Amino acid sequence: MANNRDDFSLATKELLANRVGRKCSNPSCRKLTCGANTDPDKITNIGVASHICAAAKGDPRYDESMTTEERKSFDNGIWLCQSCSKLIDTDTARYTKEVLLRWKKIAEELAILEVEMVSPTQSFEEDKDLIKFFVQCFDRPAFQDDISQEGRMEDFDKAIEDTLVALNTGVLRTRDGAILKQAEGKSAVHNPSWREKLDTIADMLNSIRRRLKIAEAEKAYTKYGSGQDVFYCFSDSELGEWFNLTREEILKVLSSICREAGLRELHFPRRRYRW
């Protein structure tokens, strides 16, 4: 049977991997995709050279206007871990060509910064400066308002996503995508205990986004009001409280790092407004 796929050459795959330091290009992931194997003659690779626009007709984001050479070119590829490679093909409305090209650009920029950066053993003060940056990333209404007081769930989800990206990459962006502040991602923290806690926070942020998506699909909340006076009511009150308690727990974990670093702790004030 003839192969109708416009697959990448080995050289193109290697170029895609190496230009991003063999890390996943999803800014919310950034997982290292290559490492040692117990067999001394082998390596473990979980990276995939994925097509931005599909290699074959009928596959995600296929573009009939592209030539064969364009489909299998470096410009049409992005390096991802296996999980994110599958993720981008499950929801093409969300993971569009434009989104993937933006991921690729960010990943290459971060790889350049990592190569240029002088990396001495980080001191306590350097770790402390990074924690200060992460604290600023959490200083937003998405971690202060009761979930029922959110104006738009789409904005809430975007705020959680932006915080997660800042935690993973050290790049804090405004809502329109402009870089507001730049430091390093959580993997640069030298203190292993702090780094582990930051990993836990990232997992919890991902959980919030997953639960929110499920709640939206199941119509678990109802919107009331209009304009500035908008609030949400969860038909499952325990689910609404889960969002509040999870965010509170995130700030508790971050506060425990702040205590050890001699920084001011954070709190989840549960701000409520009168309507």
Which of the 8 DSSP states describes residue 241? H
CB-based contact 229:275 (threshold 8 Å): yes
How many Å separate Cα 10 from the centre of its chain? 28
- The dihedrals phi and psi of 85, each to the nearest 5 degrees, come to -65, -40
- The dihedrals phi and psi of 199, each to the nearest 5 degrees, come to -65, -40
DSSP assignment of 197-252:
HHHHHHHHHHHHHHHHHHHHHTT-EEEEEETTEEEEEESSHHHHHHHHHHHHHHHH
Tens of pLDDT, residue by residue, the chain (275 residues): 446 788 999 999 999 999 999 999 999 999 999 999 999 889 999 999 999 999 999 999 999 999 999 999 999 999 999 999 999 999 999 999 999 999 999 999 999 887 766 445 457 888 999 999 999 999 888 898 888 877 788 889 999 999 999 999 999 887 777 888 888 899 988 888 999 999 999 999 999 999 999 998 888 888 777 666 667 788 888 888 999 999 999 999 999 999 999 998 877 565 554 43
Q: What is the pLDDT of residue 59?
A: 93
Integer Cα distance of 152 and 175 in angstroms: 14
Integer Cα distance of 118 and 130 in angstroms: 16
CB-based contact 234:240 (threshold 8 Å): yes
Q: What is the pLDDT of residue 175?
A: 73
CB-based contact 146:244 (threshold 8 Å): yes
- Could you tell me which residues are beta bridge partners of residue 36? 43
Instruction: Kindly state the helix (H) or strand (E) to which residue 238 belongs, with its residue range.
Output: helix 237-261
Please give the model's pTM, rounded to 2 decimal places: 0.56
